[in-house]
Amino acid sequence: MPVDTMETTRAELMERGWAALPPEYRMPAETPTLAEARAYCRRLTESHYENFHVASWFLPKRLRPHFHSIYAYCRISDDLGDEVGNAEQSLALLDLWGEQLDACYRGEARHPVFVALAETVRACEIPKEPFADLLVAFRQDQTVTRFRTMEEIHGYCRYSANPVGRLVLYTCGYRDEERFALSDYTCTALQLANFWQDVAVDYKKGRIYLPQDDMERYGVTEAMIAAGEATPEFRELLRYEVGYAHKLFGKGEPLTGMVDAELALDLDLFTRGGLEILRAIEAQGYDVLRARPSIPRSRKLLLLLSALSAKLLGRSA
């Protein structure tokens, strides 16, 4: 195929992809100032992620713009992969996003996310790898919809979840492998908790994150998931997977004692939130097919108060 035809096809794919997304995601006609870019990232973060308001209370004020830019990058990256509805269009947009990430590290950012992110990268000395790794996962989502083993799931989480925790640590000034490894346990556990919560939701998108080896061992078939009925076999499978996620949360728990108080509280909140998802699954008898387990707002407030009380008591001890 001639190069110009290939470029035309790519341009058409991107245009169709952008049309499926919020208009503000598009590349701007002019490069924004840093102040404009940071305001963009703050608006995107606060409009998409209600829990950020709570979490950000305990972050040093000087770091909030950096977390806004990281969240905005992650949010749009995820939407490019998951909200377009067409694999070819998503892949074209993800390729463009990867090119913009490269440009960001060359000092040639154009999109407001990357203008803001460039300052975060400079101030916090963050390497490109964790940002690029996320795009690997979002590209994989377009072509891989089944996983044979839990090891394959861990391989996916290495790109889809673990980079987020590492970005948080980099931003807060931590960059050692011991803390990274503990963060990976927690991030993978959070990813698994979301997978087990969303079995029915993901199946409607054509994806199953339950390892096929585990499904076969417990006698669970795709037909059972499609029927939306939690058979005894399915419940036993979910009981096992929830228990596995619990163990990962336990492995990552020491990290909260190895970071400063503000970050420790945030880590504690997210861990408690993940564990609460697992408890919600348990409370439904491991039936996540008829109704998606969720955490009531009142329970979220109790989690916040519990985490805050634990931190205050720890300080006064």
pLDDT category of residue 56 using cuts at 50, 70 and 90: low
- Residue 314 near residue 272 (C-beta atoms within 8 A): no
Alpha carbon distance 235, 242 (integer Å)? 10
Q: Looking at the predicted structure, is the pLDDT value of residue 163 above 60? A: yes
Alpha carbon distance 199, 240 (integer Å)? 14
3-state SS assignment for residue 21 = coil
Alpha carbon distance 94, 153 (integer Å)? 22
Closest CA to 59 of 276, 201, 262: 262
Q: Looking at the predicted structure, is the pLDDT value of residue 316 above 60? A: no
Q: What is the mean pLDDT of the chain?
A: 89
Q: Tell me, what's the pLDDT at 317? A: 37
Give the residue, 247 or 300, on which the prediction is more confident.
247
Which residues touch 233 (CB under 8 Å, ≥6 apart)? Answer: 218, 219, 220, 224
Q: Looking at the predicted structure, is the pLDDT value of residue 95 above 80? A: yes
pLDDT category of residue 62 using cuts at 50, 70 and 90: confident
pLDDT category of residue 51 using cuts at 50, 70 and 90: very low
pLDDT category of residue 120 using cuts at 50, 70 and 90: very high
Q: For residue 60, which phi and psi values (nearest 5 degrees)?
A: -55, 135
Q: Looking at the predicted structure, is the pLDDT value of residue 54 above 70? A: no
The string of pLDDT tens digits covering residues 194-204 is 999 999 999 99
Q: Tell me, what's the pLDDT at 272? A: 87
Q: Tell me, what's the pLDDT at 309? A: 52
